[in-house]
């Protein structure tokens, strides 16, 4: 059976101890402490992350300088490689030019004097020369055609003139020849 207190509120005995009320108050106090703890721990975490962010920004700025320097070095490396390639090409062309000139000197006749020689990058050549007669021109053209390094030897012009030598008029023939020098012959010679 239940006890029912019919006395008015003023006369009733007050409850001395309520566990329910203590638990609720304790809960709110713990909740307040937990909230304060959570707030301060989050504040500390935010400060730590901001410090890390500043450090990372400083490191990023340092790395960007290094990246920029590396890019400049790569550009410089490319420029140097291009220059090296140009120099190697010039050396190769120089050796090629010396071989072509060697072929010319090997095929030249004693009675023919080359006056003006031009070599072009498209493997063509042309030159002006002097000799005593047309027979020597034909002989020199045959000598060039017999060389494996030259082909398409063509006579561009022939002109007779006189020069004074030891009080005599000497008749000479000025002529121009053109042709093609072959690189393949060169490469085959190197391979042997």
CA 81 to chain centre: 7
Give the integer Cα–Cα distance in Å for 153 and 174: 16
Six-digit token pair at 105?
Answer: 């000197």
Name the DSSP letter for residue 148. Answer: T
Six-digit token pair at 34?
Answer: 């937990």
Q: Per-residue b/e over 115-145, b at no fewer than 16 CB within 10 Å?
A: eeeebeeeeebebbbbbeeeebbeebbebbe
Q: pLDDT tens digit string along 3-37?
A: 776 777 777 666 666 788 889 999 999 999 999 99
Give the pLDDT mean for 37-49: 96
Q: pLDDT tens digit string along 85-103?
A: 988 887 776 666 677 677 7
- pTM equals 0.46
What integer pLDDT is reported at residue 167 of this predicted model? 79
Give the integer Cα–Cα distance in Å for 31 and 156: 109
By the 8 A CB rule, do 113 and 129 touch?
A: yes
What integer pLDDT is reported at residue 21 of this predicted model? 84
Please give the torsion angle defined by the CA atoms of residues 72, 74, 77 and 79, in that order, rounded to the nearest 10 degrees: -70
73 pLDDT above the threshold of 60: yes
Give the integer Cα–Cα distance in Å for 173 and 138: 12
Name the DSSP letter for residue 4. Answer: -
156 pLDDT above the threshold of 80: yes
Which residue would you say has higher pLDDT here, 145 or 73?
Answer: 73
Give the pLDDT mean for 123-152: 84
Name the DSSP letter for residue 15. Answer: P
What integer pLDDT is reported at residue 191 of this predicted model? 46
């Amino acid at each position: 059976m239940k006890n029912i207190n019919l006395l008015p509120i003023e006369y009733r005995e007050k409850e001395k101890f309520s566990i329910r009320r203590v638990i609720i108050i304790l809960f709110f106090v713990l909740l307040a402490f937990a909230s304060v703890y959570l707030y301060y721990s989050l504040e500390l975490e935010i400060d730590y992350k901001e410090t890390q962010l500043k450090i990372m920004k400083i490191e990023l700025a340092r790395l960007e300088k290094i990246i920029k320097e590396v890019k400049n070095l790569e550009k410089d490396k490319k420029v140097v490689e291009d220059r090296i390639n140009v120099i190697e090409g010039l050396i190769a062309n120089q050796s090629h030019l010396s071989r072509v000139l060697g072929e010319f000197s090997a095929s030249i006749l004693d009675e023919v004097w080359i006056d003006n020689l031009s070599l072009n990058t498209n493997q063509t050549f042309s030159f002006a020369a002097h000799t005593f007669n047309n027979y020597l021109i034909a002989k020199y053209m045959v000598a060039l055609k017999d060389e494996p390094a030259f082909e398409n030897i063509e006579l561009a012009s022939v002109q007779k003139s006189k020069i004074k030598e030891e009080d005599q008029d000497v008749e000479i023939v000025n002529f121009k020849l053109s042709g093609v020098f072959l690189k393949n012959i060169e490469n085959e010679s190197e391979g042997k």
